[in-house]
A and B are shown apart, each in its own frame.
Chain A
Amino acid sequence: MSEIVFRGVTKTFRLPKGGDFLAIDTTDLRIEEREFVAIVGPSGCGKTTLMRMAAGLEFPSTGSVEVGGRAVRGPGPERAVVFQQFALMPWKSVRENIGFGLMCKGTPRAEAEAAIAHYVELMGLAGHEDSFPHQLSGGMQQRVAIARAYVMNPAALLMDEPFGALDAQTRIVMQEELVRLARRNPRTVLFITHSVEEAVYLADRVVVMGRKPGRIIETIDIRPLRESEAWESQPIEEVMDRPSFTQMRSRIWKLLKAREAQNA
């Protein structure tokens, strides 16, 4: 069991000048086991805060967050996180970075080595095992960060704009690879992004959030469309050119714009 459940979650921040700021208004969201959910929204809508709550790096002001039926009380290896700025340890090699969580878990050496080798191969990192992060491109560094998350065999994967720091070409490649990886190793995934395209392409369901205060505007199921058109058997650029894809994209854009217009 690894569903992620937000129940009546709010988040208030105390302002330095005094007074409170409501970052997230009452939010309910349920991500089913092995479901890939992407949250899109403008900066300041609280999407990253939601992910950090599931990770146990922040806590709701009211309401509760549960993963696999258990209340989140802090970070833990069964909920792996991929950060936007990679967050690799610069003093550890690729192999050591990927293996760090396994070492903390006390995985036997041979078993850990095999798991590391598997994800090194899968993420196209072969030959770079002994490199240090600063010797790799941004795309390669994020592959390491993704391998580091998957190797823990987590119940839930939490990704905070993992491709946000990459250039457009690398981003496309990584999106395609993530789809491949996610289909081979289905997990419960909470994926944060500000790219509508990315959300529609990757996710089973897209959650659209607005700001002031942060709340869910709408949730859209992409699965019927993707399955009927068999997106996975086509290259990413062709999928993104399909009328159904562009219609879905503009539908979400309109939702976001309408919400912003209300605020203005």
Chain B
Amino acid sequence: MANRNFLGPAGTVLGVVEFWLLTLAGFTLFFGGWMLVAWSGLMPANLLPSPLAVWETLVRLWNQPFAGHVYAEHLTASIGRFLMGWAIAVAIGIPLGLLMGWYRILDEIITPLFDSIRFVAPLAWVPLAALWFGTGIGGPLLIIFVGSFAPCLISAYRGARLVEPRLVEAAQTMGASGRRIIQHVLVPGAMPSIISGLRVSAGLGWQSLVGSELIVVGAGLGYLMVQGQGNLATNIVIAGMVGIGVVGFAIDVALRGVEAWFKRRWGQT
């Protein structure tokens, strides 16, 4: 997102200081506006608490259990659930996508099916997941899986299809078997696409989390928010949203780092 043009001709690049100043300006505007509205009394405090009130709530949730757990426990419960669902999506989606990119027949069989299912939004799976799994761990996992599976599959498939045919041919002329070509040409060749797919799928999976936690009894950020809503505690709802935003952002930053590392290593900038 950095290095965009800023009120100048194409090619004008922002300095680091300017970039951070502008980022800061955005946050200042947002929180400033929020505080103004909250303090002006345009909206009642129980519907729109000020940022400070939310911060105080966060600190309180951190120290005192709400809905059975302190904030960190809700957080780790959500992260654990997300990691499991996402891992399943990655473990199935990436290999399947690669194989579809390599074996034409698999592509023909799966693509139409996949295209017709993937537009059913993760949230639309919630009732089904609840019927199938009740309140067990399976329901949330299914929803996170549905949320993150498509980008895993698509990115691996595209990556495999975009590998330079020359490289596959070169490997063939050196006597590489199909298995060797997949391992040494297709997988590394598709890696940049796979990694950006991982990033997208992690984001979508994390976004599906709250939906999945609507049917969870126990712990989790979504559960915390539903309980907050039940208690008409807007500040707790917003505190949950803050946690979702921060963790989602952290996941994205981490995967962006991995992406940059791969590009540097292979000189594909």
Contacts and interface: CB of A to CB of B under 8 A. Distances in A.
Interface stretch (A22-30, A81-89, A113-121, A186-194): A81-89
Contact of A91 (B166, B177, B191): B191
B128 interface: no
Chain B: number of interface residues, binned into ranges: 20 to 34
Interface in A44-99: 55-57, 74-77, 79-81, 83, 85, 87-92
Contacts of A91: 188-189, 191, 265-266
B249 to A, nearest CB: 30
Given A104-B175, A104-B176, A81 B268 contact: no
A243 B166 CA distance: 40
A79 B174 CA distance: 8
Nearest to B262: A91
Interface of A is mostly: loop
Contact of A89 (B169, B175, B188): B188
A79 B173 contact: yes
B172 A100 contact: no
Contact of A76 (B164, B167, B173, B191): B173
Given A104-B180, A132-B266, A134-B266, A89 B185 contact: yes
8 smallest CB-CB distances across A and B, nearest first, come from A134-B267, A101-B174, A77-B175, A75-B172, A87-B170, A91-B188, A87-B166, A75-B173
A83 B174 CA distance: 13
A25 to B, nearest CB: 25
Q: Of A91, A92, A101, A104, which is in contact with the most chain B CB atoms at under 10 Å from its CB? A: A91
Contacts, number: 70
Interface in B166-212: 166-167, 169-177, 180, 184-185, 188-189, 191
A75 B169 contact: yes
A57 B176 contact: no
B162 to A, nearest CB: 13
Contacts of A152: 174
B267 A132 contact: yes
A104 B188 contact: no
Contacts of A211: none
A101 B184 contact: no
A143 interface: no
A212 B191 CA distance: 42
A205 to B, nearest CB: 24
Contacts of A101: 174-176
A57 B174 contact: no
A55 B171 CA distance: 12
A153 B189 CA distance: 27
B244 to A, nearest CB: 36
B184 A89 contact: yes
Contacts of A55: 173
B184 A100 contact: yes
B65 to A, nearest CB: 49
Contacts of B170: 81, 83, 87-89
B180 to A, nearest CB: 6
B164 A87 contact: yes
A78 B137 CA distance: 56
B173 A81 contact: yes
B175 A105 contact: yes
Contacts of B191: 91
Given A77-B175, A101-B175, A104-B174, A85 B166 contact: yes
Nearest to A100: B174
A246 interface: no
B164 A148 contact: no
Q: Of B170, B172, B184, which is in contact with the most chain A CB atoms at under 10 Å from its CB? A: B170
A135 interface: yes
A158 B86 CA distance: 47
7 contacts: A75-B172, A89-B171, A91-B188, A100-B176, A101-B174, A104-B175, A152-B174
B194 to A, nearest CB: 13
A77 to B, nearest CB: 3
A57 B185 contact: no
